[in-house]
Structure 1
Amino acid sequence: MSMAQPLAVETHGLTKRFGAKTALEDCGIEVPAGRVSALMGPNGAGKTTLLRMLCGLARPSEGEAAVLGRRPDPDDSAFLADIGFLAQDIPLYRRMTAAGHIALGGRLNARWDADAARERMGALGIALDRPVATLSGGQRTQLALALTLAKKPRLLLLDEPMAALDPLARHQFLTALTEAVADGDLTVLMSSHLVHDLERVSDHLILLDSSRVRLAGDIDDILAQHRVLMGPRRDTTAIERDHTVVKATHTARQSTLLVRLNGPLHDPRWEVAEPDLEELILAYMGHTGRPAPLATTGEAR
């Protein structure tokens, strides 16, 4: 990566505690500007907590974050103007129409693009004069996305926006998101459990598990540093000495390993294959140890 590439998000030691419970611990990530970053992990991993701290809705217990070069501050109007945050519960006024939401947004945001919001609704066939309560779940999500984009943010934070959408609605949502990224200077950090959908639009990954970062970096780089090894069942001590074994599966005759490479593979008896992204994510989420996270994109520059 070029040394000159700016970062949209950078955190160091970011930690959030709620009493005795630690929701996020020692989080260090870097998200380059202009990228679509998939934020993944099981329920309770700290994804929502991280997004809320990045947009200024929650303050860290320890550590620091820089978002578009600023410390997240809910009282900083310049910071808020650059951030679009779409919460999982899709906060809309149920009795208000889509047109009413668009008009309200124009009174609350300095660089509001009402025409773009109307055009997005029209392209999807969503009536502007219907109360939000009468819209389907997919239509409400599309309206929320259109409103968030009409703000013309530089960073879009999306918390499980596709959780309640059917496959067609997810496809339409991702298409609209892809078009928005292509049209402007926009960085996206989106949490989801839907690996295949995120893989379509994302080129960067952050994986949280047990409140910690397990993987962070460009998806292509992460995949390139891992291999699936298959061969007759054998002792794996030599592999574990030279590489990090993320997951090992053994049958009576065969061993299958997912390893993070720390150098070349010297044993020709292994059949080597590349993992897919879902396989890799599930392996890390099921790993009981704590291998050091991969270098973030910033560390690899």
Structure 2
Amino acid sequence: MEPAIRTRALGKRYGRTWAVRDCALEVPAGRIAALVGPNGAGKTTLLHLVVGLLRPDAGEVRVFGRDPREGTSVLADVGFVAQDTPLYRDFTAAELITMGGKLNRRRWDAALARERLAMLGIPPGKPVGKLSGGQRAQVALALALAKRPRLLLLDEPIASLDPLARREFMQALMGAVAESETTVLLSSHLLADLERSCDYLVVLQGARVRLTGPVDELLDTHRTLVGPRAGSDSVTGVAEVVRASHTERQSTLLVRRGDGPIDPLWTEHQVTLEDLVLAHLAEAETGVTTEEWGVPA
């Protein structure tokens, strides 16, 4: 099956600075993919390249096998909610739905948007500028889903929302995706929310892809090991040490498992998505803090 998103040696720079560089990535169709990385990693630039808002300076990007800048036939399959959920603030939700139908004539589902907003109790006749942040995010999501997109791109749509609004947004998103075959690429710092909803992971750091793959497989192939400080340089059953911390007598390693059993001198623990992402980011570049990721210290 043709992947929803495929990039090869993709690059975009501003002056001498590469925002995305040598990006090789495939997101399989039907996945709910998390796009994570610290501020400045290139997440927004990558999404803008995928949706055709930016032209690459190197390499290529394909959406279901087609260049997103080729024409409206590609973009008709893509829904996009930008980071600041841009909406005409003087328009009501009902007016935005009507406008959406005029701009998207291929398969616009106005009834779907109205039903979703009614279910959430969002007033159709109130200017969206007077709605709460969570309500505006839900309007933007409803408009994107009304396109009946094959691919839905979401750029930090819940970053500024309170916990209840975030949960309601994610529940609405998961419900909508469950009813369709839409592929989702969701950019967010909030790893706990992503762990509950996403089944594919893309980690960006320093303009490059550092880790990608199905979440279950990545979690299954990584472990946290606790064992003797003296033996931390070489542990049987380990293919790669991603991150290590030491005390005088003990070492804690986050590792990628290899073939065969782990050395019995080491205690083996499963990893969480937070463990996995933070370890790979710290391995790529020092200075990543848990506070930046919304993880309690």
Query: Aligned partners of 1:176 and 1:208: how far apart in 2?
Result: 26
> Residues 266 and 241 from structure 1, CA distance in 2 versus in 1: closer, same or farther, beyond 3 angstroms?
closer
Task: Render the CA deviation track for 1:108-147: whole Å, top value 9, x for unaligned.
Answer: 1111111111111110000000011110000000000000
Query: Match of 2:134?
Result: 138
Q: 2:267 aligns with which of 258, 267, 271?
A: 271
Query: Match of 2:212?
Result: 216
Unaligned runs of 5+ in 2: 287-297
- Counterpart of 2:125 in structure 1: which amino acid? D
1:282 aligns to 2:274 (yes or no): no
Query: Aligned partners of 1:171 and 1:266: how far apart in 2?
Result: 38
- Paired residues, number: 285
The worse-fitting range, judged by mean Cα deviation, of 232-241 and 253-262 is: 232-241
Query: Match of 2:257?
Result: 261
Deviant stretches of 4+, over 4 Å? none
Task: Render the CA deviation track for 1:80-122: whole Å, top value 9, x for unaligned.
Answer: 1101111001110111111110110111111111111111111
Query: Match of 2:55?
Result: 59
1:112 aligns to 2:86 (yes or no): no
- How far off is 1:288 after superposition? 4.2
Query: Match of 1:101?
Result: 96
What SS is found at the alignment partner of 2:181?
coil
Query: Aligned partners of 1:85 and 1:160: how far apart in 2?
Result: 11
Unaligned runs of 5+ in 1: 291-301
- Counterpart of 2:279 in structure 1: which amino acid? A
Query: Aligned partners of 1:114 and 1:289: how far apart in 2?
Result: 46
Query: Aligned partners of 1:185 and 1:269: how far apart in 2?
Result: 46
- Counterpart of 2:268 in structure 1: which amino acid? V
> Residues 49 and 240 from structure 1, CA distance in 2 versus in 1: closer, same or farther, beyond 3 angstroms?
farther
- How far off is 1:266 after superposition? 4.8
Query: Match of 1:78?
Result: 73
Query: Match of 2:290?
Result: none
Q: 1:205 aligns with which of 201, 207, 227?
A: 201
Query: Aligned partners of 2:131 and 2:284: how far apart in 1?
Result: 44
Q: 1:173 aligns with which of 162, 169, 174?
A: 169
Task: Render the CA deviation track for 1:57-102: whole Å, top value 9, x for unaligned.
Answer: 01111111110121111x5111111011110011101111111101
- How far off is 1:154 after superposition? 0.6
1:15 aligns to 2:11 (yes or no): yes
What SS is found at the alignment partner of 2:159?
coil
What SS is found at the alignment partner of 2:230?
coil
- Counterpart of 1:59 in structure 2: which amino acid? R
> Residues 288 and 37 from structure 1, CA distance in 2 versus in 1: closer, same or farther, beyond 3 angstroms?
closer
Matched-pair contact (CA < 8 Å) for 1:34–1:181: no
Query: Match of 2:293?
Result: none
1:117-128 → structure 2 map (5 Å cutoff): 117-128=113-124
Query: Aligned partners of 2:98 and 2:239: how far apart in 1?
Result: 57
> Residues 31 and 211 from structure 1, CA distance in 2 versus in 1: closer, same or farther, beyond 3 angstroms?
same
Query: Aligned partners of 2:227 and 2:144: how far apart in 1?
Result: 51
Query: Aligned partners of 1:23 and 1:239: how far apart in 2?
Result: 37
TM-score where L is the length of structure 1: 0.91
- How far off is 1:237 after superposition? 2.3
Query: Aligned partners of 2:33 and 2:245: how far apart in 1?
Result: 30
TM-score where L is the length of structure 2: 0.92
CA-based RMSD: 1.6
Query: Aligned partners of 2:23 and 2:12: how far apart in 1?
Result: 9
> Residues 199 and 128 from structure 1, CA distance in 2 versus in 1: closer, same or farther, beyond 3 angstroms?
same
The worse-fitting range, judged by mean Cα deviation, of 236-245 and 8-17 is: 236-245
Matched-pair contact (CA < 8 Å) for 2:40–2:206: yes
